[in-house]
Structures are given as C-alpha cells and as structure tokens.
Amino acid sequence: MAIVERGIRMNTSTSTFKRNTKYRIIDGPSRDMLFDAVKYAYDRGINILIEFEIEEWDEQEQEWGYKGRFVPTVINSIEHECGSGSSFNIEGHSMNEGHFEAYYSSRSRQGHVVFGKR
C-alpha cells in the first residue's frame, strides 16, 4: 500500500483530460486500496496514493489509444454499483482535473471516468 504524507508537492500542471469526455480505465487499484483512500480522504496525516491508467478514443485512428495516468487527490464517495462486491461508482477530486465521476470494477481493473461534470 502506498501511503504518502500530506504536504508532498504533487504535479500542479494544467489538466490533460477534456471535460465531459468519457475515458476508459484500463488498470487501477484493488478494492482494498479504494476503500482505504476513502477512509483516509480527509486525514491530515496520511494520503493513500492510487492511480488509474487511462485510454482515450482516437477519432482519426478509430481505436483506443493510451492517454496517461490519472491520480485522484481525494475520493469522496464509493457506491456499490451492483451486488457483485467488486463494481463501484466513484466520485472525487483531483488537483489537476477537478471533479470526476467513475465506474470501476476492481475485479477486472477496468471501467470509465468522466472529468468536470459538476
């Protein structure tokens, strides 16, 4: 588990993802890491670092292409999407990307994310 002290300076560059565009999550954290991130979301002493690998639809090539990594600053809520115990609706905030909403399966480690819907 990656635990990082708050106060470590993260990359504060501008957003790299388009607003209101759905991106495909191709890899991400375990279910336990997600719940730990929510559990410690507002703890001043520690921050659970999680990241998602993202793909973007390329209109010219008509295929999915690797876009980069997305690192949430805070995960505010996790909701079970169904009765499987491994599919979740997630909401949170990222320093660079702002508000995000995601569907994520911790079993397949795949899903999708949309930035800036609020």
Beta bridge partners of 22: 114
Q: Which residue has the tokens 């911790």?
A: 106
CB 93 within 8 A of CB 39: no
Query: 79-111, pLDDT tens digit by residue?
Result: 998 888 899 999 988 877 788 999 999 999 999
User: What is the reported pTM?
Assistant: 0.76
> Residue 10's pLDDT is what?
37
Query: 41-61, pLDDT tens digit by residue?
Result: 888 888 777 888 888 877 777
Query: 33-44, pLDDT tens digit by residue?
Result: 999 988 888 888
> Residue 2's pLDDT is what?
47
Report CA-CA distances (Å) from 114 to 2, 36, 104.
25, 22, 12
